Amino acid sequence: MTNFPQDTRRSNDAGGINLVQSVAERVAQSVGQVIIGKRNEVRLAVLGLLSEGHILIEDIPGVGKTMMAKALARAIGCTFSRIQFTPDMLPSDVTGVSLFNQKTREFEFRAGPIMAQVVLADEINRATPKTQAALLEAMEERQVTVDGETHSMPKPFMILATQNPIEYEGTFPLPEAQLDRFLLRIQLGYPSPAEELTVLSAQQYTHPLYNMQQVVSIQELLAAQQAVREVYVADEIKRYIVDLVNASRQHPDVYLGSSPRGSLALFRTAQTRAAMAGRDYVIPDDVKALAEVTLAHRIIVGPAARIKDISSRTIVQDILLTTPVPGTSIHQ
């Protein structure tokens, strides 16, 4: 296994890494009691939370997408809001409106459901492009602008959006600008027969979600998010990330490759994965493990490749196989 020696010049202390590990383990264990048998997907959701990013959960109905968002919010004690997207929804139904108060003779801002710490955007692709666009500013700038006034989002702030990859009738595909703002795209998939039996037993009398308790304070979470940013990334690792993203733009089966935001997503999630593993430095294995979930949804496959049933995930795997990995001898 590739091993990168630690550098004594790094300023990140062990306390920050221990905090990230502790927060990640507590949240993952708590959410895992509700989302049975999906340990890797749960840890990816926690990783997205610690990376201060948004997550697109793409899967068929009934596999636990909504429960994932609710359980995550309960575990960290954050305010939770659910937006059920429909074709007749307006942007103001998401962001909020300014109403005239006849007593004070002034306009007052009535916040929409987007002004919560954990937001579930359920079936996001059923909203019109105009309504979908209402999320763009909130996802990137962490603010919404209504009638010329800017309102900051609470901290932490995370959107978990869901969509059904099978049913396309009455839907509006997410534009590239929207997809690019999601840090990760994950899938839950069916549980195994043994896991499904466990689900039946667990929900015989009551849903495990109702028994969940807050396991992490907001202050701990914010401190862990800040500690992630202190994880050391060698220049060779940064170059490896850029090489992977650049390869996605030059691949013969790609119509449009990943944006620089993809590089930043892979960079930040690699830092988080390293911290969750107890390291204060990133290794190539961190980058390789997260390349597919951070880059695949940012790649548009060319028409000829689509005819051959080549997916963006296949392209990312091909890029990983053909892009040289940094060696073990790194002089920092």
Tell me, rounded to whole angstroms, the distance of Cα 295 from its chain centroid: 12
The fold for domain 231-324 equals Helicase, Ruva Protein; domain 3 (1.10.8)
pLDDT at 163: 87
Residue 307, C-beta contacts closer than 8 angstroms, at least 6 positions apart = none
Q: Which residues of the chain have pLDDT under 70?
A: 1-13, 167-170, 328-332
Range list of β-strands (E), 112-157: 118-122, 143-146, 149-152
Cα 53 to Cα 314: distance, rounded to the nearest angstrom: 24
How many Å is the Cα radius of gyration of the chain?
21
pLDDT at 189: 82
Cα 50 to Cα 269: distance, rounded to the nearest angstrom: 9
The structure tokens listed for 38 are: 């999906």
Residues of the chain with CATH 1.10.8.80: 231-324
pLDDT at 203: 84
Q: What is the pTM of this model?
A: 0.87
Put residue 188 in one of left, alpha, beta given phi > 0 → left and psi -120 to 50 → alpha. Answer: alpha
Establish whether the linkage from the previous residue to 156 is cis, with ω within 30° of 0: yes
Q: What CATH number belongs to 10-230?
A: 3.40.50.300
Partnered with residue 173 across adjacent β-strands are: none
Residues of the chain with CATH 3.40.50.300: 10-230
User: Nearest to residue 78, comparing CAs of 112, 47, 49?
Assistant: 49
